[in-house]
Amino acid sequence: MSWGGPETTVGTPPEVTRGRRLDTRRILLLLGAILLLVSTVRVVTGANDLTSAGTFSASLRLAVPILLAGLGGLYAERTGVVNIGLEGMMILGTWFGAWGALEFGVWWGLVIGIAGGAVGGLVHAVASITFGINQIVSGVAINIIAAGVARFLSVIAFTGAGGGATQSPQIPTELPRFTLPLLSGGDLFGWQSPDPLGWIARQRWWMVSDLGALAKGFTSNLSLITAITLLLVPLTYLFLWRTRLGLRMRSAGENPVAAESLGVRVYTVKYIGVVISGALAGLAGAFLVFEAAGIYREGQTAGRGFLGLAAMIFGNWRPTGVASAAGLFGFADALKLRSNEAVHALLLLAAVALVGLGIWYVWKRRLGFVAVAIAISALVFVWYGVTETVARELVFITPYVATLLVLAVASQRLRMPAADGLPYRRGQE
């Protein structure tokens, strides 16, 4: 298949470079188009919260757990193990993170939360790799068990200590936060530096302010875990695509039999992938406890593990793709929280985007698709015109509907690891 650069083949460098350069250009073009569209809609509708620095900051905060779960899914699936258990591992991360923070302080809490998730990953690895049971069955079982373990442990550890069966006491300490000096108004050796990005964002200039707000949102009041997560995106790429171990891990996900015959220890690299996967889900859980809530609460993960899985598929099993998808999901979430007006403006955005899609299909000579796109666009226009707000419940489902649509429209263009989800027994042919 021609889609996707480096991951399709391991041994053909010329194609790889060409594919990647094209990809980057395409992505930049797409991002530019999105910016143009969003900015125009903002100016036309006057829904300034659509691209305020606060919205981007909130989007980032909401995207981090999804992104971490998505990267977790990526590590497991690149080695050929489907991880439906991300949600459960995230639950373990929240509980153990909270407990560790209460017992030993916030830094240990972070470590223990990650370890809790990693243990969940280890269970999944033992069941699905060593015993070779169905990976989906094992993942579902882990989700059920993790919820039970968290509940049981809460009863033991938190009742009588200011918490209860469903929540922990307040977690006192906070992790450090960071704002970029000179550009976003951070402190520089105790001196409050100016905030040019914030100023630009407040001017509401077409295109410029939107970009300024984006930069401001990504550079101010960053939590430690957020910064780590953002760094993890390029690091994951470098690790999986530019190191020997990464190559071996991916080869186990593409063709384990061939990999084994070349001397790769398939079981070992699969274990590594799945345990990293659990650890990242655990970190996502710890983030929810330390940065989002300041407390452990039952049901806190609220399906974010599954959302991470969706982001991974949406992002075509690539780190940058996962990051974009997680960002999009976080953005939808942030708008829902911040402003009804902005969500309403989103309808206009969708309608215009559909028109654009229709034009694209005209160019591609797919007239049936043109008709569908224009028809849906017209409906959304009418919806925008006759209503004032959009119900929260309908905003809640947008990431899921978007994922289904992407899968339905572009499943031929997505390329998952070839041996993803298949049980592998050492010595099989």
Partner 1 sequence: MTKLRIRLLWLLVPASAIVLAFAVSSIALLAIGEDPLAAFRSMFEYGSRSNSLVSMVNRAVPLYVAGLAVAVGFKMNLFNIGVEGQYRIAALLSAAVGAALTLPAPLHIALIIVVAMLVGAGWAGIAGVLKVKRGVHEVVSTIMLNFIATGIGAYLLANYLRKPQPEGSVDLIIATRQIPESGQLPPLTRVGGIEMHSFVVFAVVLGIVVYLLIWRTRFGYDLRATGINPGAAEASGVDPRRMIITTMLLSGGIAGLIGMSDLFGFFHAYTLDFPTGLGFDGIAVALVGLNHPIGVAVAALLFGWVDRAAQILDLEGIPKEVIVITKGVIILSVVVAYEVVRRVVLAQEVKAAAAATRRLETEEELAAV
Residues forming contacts to partner 1 in the complex (CB under 8 A) are: 82, 84, 123, 127, 131-134, 136-138, 140-145, 147-149, 151-152, 154-156, 165, 303, 306, 309-310, 313, 391, 393-394, 396-397, 400-401, 403-404, 407-409, 411-412
Residue 307 CA to chain centroid, in angstroms? 7
Contacts (Cβ under 8 Å, ≥6 apart) of 77: 83, 253, 312, 317, 416, 417, 420, 421
What would the two tokens of residue 175 be?
Answer: 């992790």
132 in Cβ contact with 338 (< 8 Å):
no
Nearer to partner 1, 81 or 232 (CB): 81
What would the two tokens of residue 416 be?
Answer: 């998952």
The minimum distance between CB 409 and partner 1, in angstroms, equals 8
Nearer to partner 1, 165 or 175 (CB): 165
How far is it, in rounded angstroms, from Cα 264 to Cα 262? 6
Nearer to partner 1, 1 or 408 (CB): 408
Nearer to partner 1, 57 or 143 (CB): 143
The minimum distance between CB 403 and partner 1, in angstroms, equals 5
Dihedral, CA of residue 64, residue 84, residue 240 and residue 8, to nearest 10: -120
116 in Cβ contact with 282 (< 8 Å):
yes
Q: Is 297 helix (H, G, I), strand (E, B) or coil?
A: strand
The minimum distance between CB 109 and partner 1, in angstroms, equals 22
Closest CA to 280 of 321, 236, 223: 236
The minimum distance between CB 259 and partner 1, in angstroms, equals 23
The minimum distance between CB 295 and partner 1, in angstroms, equals 19
The minimum distance between CB 142 and partner 1, in angstroms, equals 8
Nearer to partner 1, 32 or 148 (CB): 148
Nearer to partner 1, 160 or 190 (CB): 160
Closest CA to 88 of 142, 38, 8: 142
